[in-house]
Amino acid sequence: MKILFLMVRRIEEWTLFIAVMTALLGLFVSVVLRYCFHITFAGADELVRNTIILTTFIGLSAAIRKDRLIRVDAMAQLFPGLRFILTLISQGAVMLFAGLLIRFGMELVIMMHQTGQNTIIWNMPLWILYAILPVSGVLMAIRTAEELWKLLCQRPNSPDREREAP
């Protein structure tokens, strides 16, 4: 299990790093070409837009790992005894969202593949871009399963839990 979680972590980190660096490089080249050589690089806009989509959906998995998802914890603060149950409900909602992302993402990928639609500037098949949806859902499900495992198998204040906190 730890090997799977480590592999997913490496995939997240490297994908996010490479995506952001690619977008920065593309924008830099676009600015240099525009202001120094008066040449327009139209593909930079599409590159940045696609990179933002990629980093957003891969970042969901990283946010779960770092326990940085947005949540309302007023109930848990008012009723500390319900914290465990509310956390289970929250993790269940994330798992449900991951499942929906996988299901409907796959439907979109199949539809885009069947219709043969492409992006305007790069002429890249849209199914490749839409494939980030089910991939993100799988990564989210893995991360949520990891968090549920920690929640159910470890004491809330165990040294392992504190050590892994960001």
For residue range 67-109, list pLDDT tens digits in order: 888 877 788 888 888 888 988 999 999 999 999 999 999 999 9
- For the chain, give every domain's residue range: 2-164
| The pLDDT value given to residue 163 | 45
| The pLDDT value given to residue 94 | 94
Q: How far apart are CA 135 and CA 96, in angstroms?
A: 15
Determine contact, residues 147/64, Cβ cutoff 8 Å. yes
Distance of CA 137 to the CA centre of its chain: 8
Q: How far apart are CA 83 and CA 10, in angstroms?
A: 31
pLDDT at residue 166 is higher than 70: no
| The pLDDT value given to residue 82 | 86
| The pLDDT value given to residue 2 | 83
To the question of pTM greater than 0.85 for the whole model, the response is no
Mean pLDDT taken over the chain: 88
| The pLDDT value given to residue 72 | 74
pLDDT tens digits along 112-146: 999 999 999 999 999 999 999 999 999 999 999 99
DSSP assignment of the chain, as one string?
Answer: -HHHHHHHHHHHHHHHHHHHHHHHHHHHHHHHHHHHS----THHHHHHHHHHHHHHHHHHHHHHHTT------HHHHH-GGGHHHHHHHHHHHHHHHHHHHHHHHHHHHHHHHHHT-B-TTT--BHHHHHTHHHHHHHHHHHHHHHHHHHHHHS-TT-HHHHHH--
Determine contact, residues 53/132, Cβ cutoff 8 Å. yes
Nearest to 142 by CA among 15, 30, 8, 50: 8
> Which residues are CB-neighbours of 155 under 8 A, at least 6 positions away?
161
Q: How far apart are CA 62 and CA 29, in angstroms?
A: 29
